[in-house]
Amino acid sequence: MVKICCIGAGYVGGPTMAVIALKCPAIEVVVVDISTARIAAWNSDQLPIYEPGLEDVVKECRGRNLFFSTDVEKHVREADIIFVSVNTPTKTRGLGAGKAADLTYWESAARMIADVSKSDKIVVEKSTVPVKTAEAIEKILTHNSKGINYQILSNPEFLAEGTAIQDLFNPDRVLIGGRETPEGCKAVQALRAVYANWVPEDRIITTNLWSAELSKLAANAFLAQRISSVNAISALCEATGADVAEVAYSVGKDSRIGPKFLNASVGFGGSCFQKDILNLVYICECNGLPEVANYWKQVIKINDYQKSRFVNRVVSSMFNTVAGKKIAVLGFAFKKDTGDTRETPAIDVCKGLLGDKAKISIYDPQVSEDQIQRDLAMNKFDWDHPIHLQPMSPTAIKEASVTWDAYEATKGAHGICILTEWDEFKKLDYAKIYESMQKPAFIFDGRNVVDPAKLREIGFIVYSIGKPLDPWLRDMPAVA
């Protein structure tokens, strides 16, 4: 029986291993993590992450051929294939601070594998890592090998949160990169055989190690670039009276471009886009390619611009001050159908409003108050470290209140900011909300989920990203 062990029970490790266990009943899959609380959650009825369809998969396999454990060394020792999906945060200090990936967790995982292994292993990079990480890991393992053979493979994940289980059941492609040696090819085939249990052969792509590592960074950079492209156009639409939805629809009808990832919004978020582009920028700089680095940097600059532009719109519309005014924030996750708040644009928008002394009241159907308060108190990039290593300032006064109901959040508010495109925000009774708000009542729709015409009939002053401006807003400066 093939034994698989995955180090890291997070957003990637948990769902990926659950699906492998479901599709490969003959393989024993163990997910290990040093966090006792996280493993306990995976073994309970309340899983540590929310992902549609995940619970059913876990319940079907758990205890049969899917196990969650904190006994890291035992399971690593027994495994034939070891997946490593640990955090690779952006460095906050030292060489490459603010851009380079911090490989501390990766390196300690590799050293631990070398320490405890008694038999040959295939080690698979699952977390997004900078190009050439495999080479570094290979060096650590071979220098500590004690006669054991290790093969390193790169098998990047291409999951989108909110549809991760579907993405795993029916992937566009599975990418496996390995050394072009006889042993390397054998290792690639071993991993290929696992996926071949449910993925059609023509969707399993094999490449060399560097191509696989770079493909993941490049794919995320291309996706983020599309969002920044349409967001850049949205600013021009507002200035000229064009409608970004109409423009994006027309552009997306070109079969060479296609319609996906062309929704203008307050900005992209998520754990990968910004991190991967910063990583790509750093790698380009290290390889003497400043022009390429600057090209990709611009994608993040436009994203930051879009968030600050949104905050400026809110403040300038409301007589240039939001001090002491209640503003309701609907949605905190970086997109709908996930409870994930990593790099969510909501953090920067909320901080911008708090910086202007607003009183904000936040409602999100999937994000806990604890998580929101932690996100607002944290420094940039801190989120990507394990919770017990995150700096928690006990003195952080709770500047924002969190409610469990949209109507409660909006009661008595001067304005509403919609920052996540949850379906329920389309169905709210806005007439009822209008009655309970201070007048003039503003709605700033950062996701274009509501119908501006209907809301204007009720009496709202509406700002939708990239749409023709409300007469009220036309005279207001867009940039502070």
In the annotated binding site for NAD(+), the residues are 8-13, 33, 38, 86-90, 127-128, 161, 272-275, 342
Whether residue 272 lies in the annotated active site:
yes
Q: Which long-range contacts (CB under 8 A, 24 or more apart) does 137-143 make?
A: 137/106, 137/107, 137/110, 140/107, 140/110, 140/111, 140/114, 141/110, 141/113, 141/114
How many residues can be counted in the chain? Answer: 480
Assigned token pair, 91: 């460095």
- As a three-state string, the secondary structure of 375-429 is HHHCCCCHHHCCHHHCCCCCCCCCCEEEECCHHHHHCCCCEEEECCCCHHHHCCC
CA distance 171 to 204: 9
CA distance 326 to 410: 8
**Which one is catalytic: 272, 284, 350, 417?**
272
Inter-residue contact 443 to 460 (CB < 8 Å): yes
Q: Are strands 3-7 and 326-330 parallel, antiparallel or unpaired?
A: unpaired
Taking the CB of residue 387, how many other CB atoms lie within 10 A of it?
Answer: 11
Summarize the annotated binding site as residue ranges.
8-13, 33, 38, 86-90, 127-128, 161, 272-275, 342
Q: Which amino acid is at 75?
A: H
Inter-residue contact 176 to 192 (CB < 8 Å): yes
Q: Please, which residues have CB within 8 angstroms of residue 260's CB and are 6 or more apart in sequence?
A: 226, 252
CA distance 57 to 36: 22
CA distance 134 to 154: 7
Give the closest residue to 127 by CA, choosing from 68, 172, 83: 83
Q: Which amino acid is at 178?
A: G
Query: Which residues are identified as catalytic?
Result: 272
